[in-house]
């Protein structure tokens, strides 16, 4: 789950990370009031989950209340084209912030590095630009620090990574608590990315998060119900994908076909989609329910898939590993029995106790299949 800038800054402020004074606004009138409260000057920034807001015309340094109001009126409720996202995004809200006396701009970030199986700090004196561009043109200006999860962020390691990133020695002492607080926020909220770019250094030598990006691991959201409100403001334009998030179904992508796809495991679901296409059908979605098929999850997933009026049939493809096939079959039957289903549902079971599961399905309205290819052919024929 990606957070918008104002949300990320709200979260970071709770952990002692300095952020600019500001207010999120949804109308030009609110923008005018917020700008007035900041002394008549402000930076007005469109809130979208995409980079390159300045290039897209989504950022304005307003030197008067009228200038801020007029800019907000020109973008709120309208769409801007973002080259990075390759699409138009509708602007629903803006962040109005104080103008900072910027002396320098740095970059700091934390993300997951699968090669070292650790979280890694990235520090660079080349802030205000994409870190990918810095890595390409000035690799010597980037410091990296894999963090030992047992030791955490140690002062000597901070000095090393800051120096490697080109941060002057005189500023490293001030940077240390900033990095520690950012790391605490990252770990305690199960983030997969926490990025501050630019990290502003004012003329007085104060560090402030000029911008902020935070992404939370979807699989850990159940541990953070307080963050659910941030998911409601996502720019997802697809109502079915928004509904999936509200239901706690994180691995769902809505497509344009008429055959609903449900499976356990991303690779299995993608292969199922390929088989449906090979049989002449069109998948209506990608839906991975994870390691099993509990009744409540099956019911929730089917409700989501069948809420699309284009769906004329559903294929459920489950591989029983640790979860036994007969238990999976009972979960599917229990989950579907609570729904008024008017389209055919073909179920393929494989793996542990698959034969017992198929026997159970034979006594239901569900249509069993022994192989994935057979299941795909059956559901395509039924909806044709």
Question: Which residue of the set 97, 195, 275, 327 is catalytic?
Answer: 195
Q: Do 243 and 379 sit in the same domain of this protein?
A: yes
Q: What are phi and psi of 318, to 5 degrees?
A: -120, 130
Question: How many alpha carbons fall within 13 Å on the CB side of residue 289?
Answer: 26
pLDDT at 292: 60
Q: Do 251 and 371 sit in the same domain of this protein?
A: yes
In a domain, 319, yes or no: yes
Q: Do 345 and 305 sit in the same domain of this protein?
A: yes
Report the number of distinct structural domains present in the chain: 3
First to last CA, the chain: 37
Q: Do 111 and 205 sit in the same domain of this protein?
A: yes
Residue 92 to residue 324: CA distance in whole angstroms? 47
In this structure, what token pair is assigned to residue 280? 């002449």
Q: Do 195 and 107 sit in the same domain of this protein?
A: yes
Q: Do 204 and 272 sit in the same domain of this protein?
A: no
CATH of residue 183: 3.30.470.20
What are 131-149's pLDDT values in tens digits?
777 777 777 778 999 999 9
Residue with the larger pLDDT of the pair 295 and 217:
217
Q: Do 86 and 140 sit in the same domain of this protein?
A: no
In a domain, 351, yes or no: yes
Domain termination residue (choose one: 184, 199, 225): 225
Q: Do 216 and 252 sit in the same domain of this protein?
A: no
- Catalytic residue flag (residue 107): yes
The CA–CA distances, whole Å, from 3 to 128, 143, 267, 338 equal: 19, 25, 28, 35
Q: Do 271 and 375 sit in the same domain of this protein?
A: yes
- Region 38-67 average pLDDT: 93
In a domain, 6, yes or no: no
Handedness of CA 377, 379, 381, 383 (dihedral sign): negative
- Region 86-108 average pLDDT: 91
Q: Do 34 and 66 sit in the same domain of this protein?
A: yes
CATH of residue 249: 3.40.50.261
pLDDT at 190: 94
- Of 150, 152, 214, 202, the C-alpha closest to 174 is 202
CB 293 within 8 A of CB 299: no
CB 312 within 8 A of CB 258: yes
What are 341-383's pLDDT values in tens digits?
889 999 998 888 888 888 888 878 889 888 999 999 999 999 9
Question: Which residue of the set 6, 106, 107, 252 is catalytic?
Answer: 107
Q: Do 79 and 188 sit in the same domain of this protein?
A: no
In a domain, 14, yes or no: no
Q: Do 214 and 110 sit in the same domain of this protein?
A: yes
Residues 6+ apart with CB under 8 A from 306: 260, 314, 339, 341, 343
In this structure, what token pair is assigned to residue 145? 């620090």
Mean pLDDT across the chain, nearest whole number? 89
- Catalytic residue flag (residue 183): no
Of the listed ranges 12-16, 133-137, 229-233, 299-303, the least confidently predicted one is: 229-233
In a domain, 1, yes or no: no
In a domain, 290, yes or no: yes
Domain termination residue (choose one: 55, 76, 97): 97
CB 1 within 8 A of CB 227: yes
pLDDT at 37: 96
The CA–CA distances, whole Å, from 278 to 374, 377, 379 equal: 12, 9, 12
What are 243-274's pLDDT values in tens digits?
888 888 888 999 999 999 999 888 999 999 99
CATH of residue 69: 3.30.1490.20
Residue range(s) defining the domain that contains residue 153: 102-225
């Amino acid at each position: 789950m990606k957070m918008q800038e104002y949300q990320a800054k709200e979260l970071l402020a709770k952990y002692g990370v300095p952020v600019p004074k500001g207010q999120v606004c949804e109308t030009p009138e609110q923008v005018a009031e917020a700008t007035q409260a900041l002394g008549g000057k402000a930076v007005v920034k469109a809130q979208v989950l995409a980079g390159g807001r300045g290039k897209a015309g989504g950022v304005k340094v307003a030197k008067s209340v009228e200038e801020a109001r007029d800019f907000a009126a020109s973008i709120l409720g309208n769409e801007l084209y973002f080259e990075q996202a390759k699409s138009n995004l509708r602007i629903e809200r803006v962040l109005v912030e104080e103008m900072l006396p910027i002396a320098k701009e740095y970059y700091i970030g934390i993300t997951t590095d699968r090669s070292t199986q650790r979280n890694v700090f990235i520090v660079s004196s080349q802030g205000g630009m994409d870190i990918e561009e810095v890595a390409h043109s000035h690799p010597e200006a980037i410091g990296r620090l894999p963090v030992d999860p047992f030791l955490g962020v140690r002062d000597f390691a901070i000095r090393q990574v800051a120096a490697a990133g080109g941060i002057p020695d005189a500023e490293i002492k001030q940077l240390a608590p900033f990095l520690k607080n950012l790391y605490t926020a990252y770990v305690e909220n199960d983030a997969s990315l926490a990025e501050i770019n630019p990290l502003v250094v004012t003329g007085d030598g104060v560090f402030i998060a000029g911008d902020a990006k935070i992404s939370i691991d979807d699989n850990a959201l159940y541990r953070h119900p307080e963050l659910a409100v941030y998911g409601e403001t996502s720019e997802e334009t697809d109502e079915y994908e928004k509904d999936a998030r509200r239901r706690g179904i994180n691995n769902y992508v809505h497509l344009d076909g008429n055959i609903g796809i449900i499976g356990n495991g991303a690779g299995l679901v993608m292969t199922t989609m390929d088989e449906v296409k090979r049989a002449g059908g069109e998948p209506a979605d990608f839906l991975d329910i994870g390691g099993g098929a509990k009744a409540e999850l099956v019911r929730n997933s089917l409700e989501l898939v069948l809420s699309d009026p284009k769906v004329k049939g559903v294929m459920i493809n489950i591989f029983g590993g640790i979860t036994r096939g007969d238990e999976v079959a009972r979960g599917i039957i229990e989950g579907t029995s609570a729904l008024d289903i008017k389209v055919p549902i073909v179920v393929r079971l494989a793996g542990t106790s698959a034969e017992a599961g198929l026997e159970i399905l034979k006594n239901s309205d569900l249509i069993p299949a022994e192989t994935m290819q057979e299941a795909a052919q059956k559901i395509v024929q039924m909806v044709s």
